[in-house]
Amino acid sequence: MVNVAVFDLVGPFAHFRKYYTNSSSLSYAFPPRTALMGTVAAVLGWERDSYYEKLGLSEARFAVVIKVPVRRLIQTVNYIRTKEEDLNRLRKLEAVKGTQVPLELLLPGGTASSLCFRVYFAHRDDQVTRELAERLAAGRSYFPLYLGLTEFIAQARLVDFKPPDEIIPAGQEVELHSVLAADYLRRPVLRGEVALNRERAPQSFGAGRKLMPPRSYIYEMQARPWRAELLIPAYSFFLPSGKETVAFMEGELWPSSPTVTAKESA
Binding residue for other proteins (CB under 8 A) from 57, 107, 167, 196? 196
Say whether residue 74 binds other proteins (CB under 8 A): yes
Among 45, 53, 89, 102, binds other proteins (CB under 8 A): 102
Q: Does 84 bind other proteins (CB under 8 A)?
A: yes
Of positions 94, 210, 263, 265, contacts other proteins by CB under 8 A: 210
The verdict on 224 binding other proteins (CB under 8 A) reads no
Show Cβ contacts of residue 191 under 8 Å, excluding neighbours closer than 6 positions: 227
Q: What is the edge-to-edge ordering of all strands in the sheet holding 60-66?
A: 60-66, 115-123, 4-11, 153-162, 145-146
Per CB under 8 A, 83 contacts other proteins: yes
Provide the strand spans (E) within 67-177: 70-80, 98-108, 115-123, 145-146, 153-162, 166-168, 173-176
The closest of 34, 10, 45, 249 to 128, measured between CA atoms, is: 45
- Taking CB under 8 A as the criterion, the residue among 188, 227, 231, 254 binding other proteins is 188
Task: Return the sign of the alpha-carbon dihedral for residues 42, 44, 49, 55.
Answer: negative
Question: Residue 208 and residue 188: Cα distance in Å, rounded?
Answer: 38
The verdict on 112 binding other proteins (CB under 8 A) reads: no
Q: How many other β-carbons are positioned within 10 Å of the β-carbon of residue 220?
A: 22
Among the listed residues 53, 137, 139, 195, the single contact to other proteins using CB under 8 A: 195
198 within 8 A of 182, measured Cβ to Cβ: yes
> Does 19 sit near other proteins (CB under 8 A)?
yes
Q: Which listed range, 5-13, 164-172, 204-212, 237-245, lies at the site for other proteins (CB under 8 A)?
A: 204-212
Q: How many CB atoms lie within 10 A of CB 61?
A: 24
Which stretch, 53-61, 141-149, 211-219, 249-257, contacts other proteins (CB under 8 A)? 211-219
- The whole-angstrom separation of Cα 154 and Cα 146 is 5
Q: Which residues pair with 145 in a beta bridge?
A: 154
| Residue with Cβ nearer other proteins (15 or 135) | 15
- Residue 82 beta carbon to other proteins: minimum distance, rounded to whole angstroms: 3
Identity of the residue, 161 or 184, whose beta carbon is nearer to other proteins in the bound complex? 184
Q: Which of 26, 77, 107, 189 binds other proteins (CB under 8 A)?
A: 26
Helix (H) / strand (E) containing 37: helix 33-44
Decide whether 164 or 214 has the Cβ nearer to other proteins. Answer: 214
Tell me the C-alpha distance between 107 and 113, whole Å.
Answer: 9
Q: Which is nearer to other proteins, 87 or 137 (CB)?
A: 87
Strand ordering across the sheet containing 226-230: 173-176, 226-230, 185-189
243 contributes a contact to other proteins by CB under 8 A: no
Residue number, 84 or 264, with CB nearest to other proteins: 84
Q: Which of 193/264 has CB closer to other proteins?
A: 193
Task: Note the residues at the interface with other proteins (CB under 8 A).
Answer: 18-24, 26, 72, 74, 79-84, 87, 99, 102, 104, 185, 188, 190, 195-200, 202, 206, 208-216, 218, 221
